[in-house]
Amino acid sequence: MKTRILSGLIMLPLVILLVIGGYVLYAGCFLIGVMAVYEFYRGFKSMDIHACFPIAVVAAVALYGIGIADHVAGDSIDTAFKGGTGTLLMLWFFGVTLACLLYLFKIEERKPEDGMATLVGIFYAVFFSYHIGLIGMIPETKILVWLVVITAFGTDICAYFSGVFLGKHKLCPVISPKKTWEGAIGGVLGSVILCGVFGLIFCKPLLVHCLIIGFAGSIISMFGDLTASVFKRKMGIKDYGNLIPGHGGILDRFDSVLFTGPIVYYYIAFVIA
């Protein structure tokens, strides 16, 4: 019980970030991305793979800086990749890839895996988290940032209880032995219901969109959870960190959120906006 209380107290500031939104949430996403990529790189050390954390930090600062420039310039979400700051984003992709390749030039000390791990960590933790901050910066639809958390955590909780009471058929026994098809179905249904309730109460005109996001986001969030499990199994670790009592590190808690954020963002960009 004490562990659960401590976990709740640690997660409370994250709820506050969602309530405040805007630049405060944006900054919070930056910190989550940087902390998550640090934990991700630390896990690779058990495999004698040494990613470059400084490159990730510089990449994070540059990416989130581009986002602020985009917001200040007033560019709309559906034109983000069509010029202006969109060109800066393409430059960012090039710069990150180039930096990770140049990192290998100290050939007597580094292996190709070091550069590849660096690149994957930046895209996985930094770039994915960036989308969540962007959603909170869109005045017309910023309330939908809640769906990122509701979908990810709702799926996790509903899948857990569905699996405990109804689970019989293993989903991915090699990756995650405890997950079942019944739990997965329960997670999706739970996410759709929770997102629907949220839509009815807070944004009724977007109710149908909330239901769709609840369905699609739930499936993607489970992919995020399983992806994190794949890495941990290969790394030979139980958790990425111990920051959150009973839940491991930042990446352990936000593995599904990192996958859900981009889905919600791009749904808004191509369907709602």
Domain ranges of the chain: 2-272
pLDDT digits (tens, 9 = 90+) for 37-54: 999 999 999 999 999 999
DSSP class of 238: S
CA-based nearest residue to 149, from 31, 4, 22, 254: 254
* pTM: predicted TM-score of the whole model, two decimal places: 0.91
Q: So what's the pLDDT on residue 80?
A: 45
pLDDT digits (tens, 9 = 90+) for 162-177: 999 999 999 999 999 9
DSSP class of 273: -
The model's confidence at residue 1, banded by pLDDT at 50, 70 and 90, is very low
Question: Long-range contacts of range 231-238, CB-CB < 8 Å, 24 or more positions apart?
Answer: 231/40, 231/43, 232/43, 233/175, 234/47, 235/43, 235/44, 235/46, 235/47, 236/46, 236/47, 237/43, 237/46
Positive or negative: CA dihedral 267, 215, 250, 2: positive
CA-based nearest residue to 38, from 149, 136, 133, 124: 124
**pLDDT > 70? residue 19:** yes
Residues 6+ positions from 92 with CB-CB distance below 8 Å: 59, 62, 63, 66
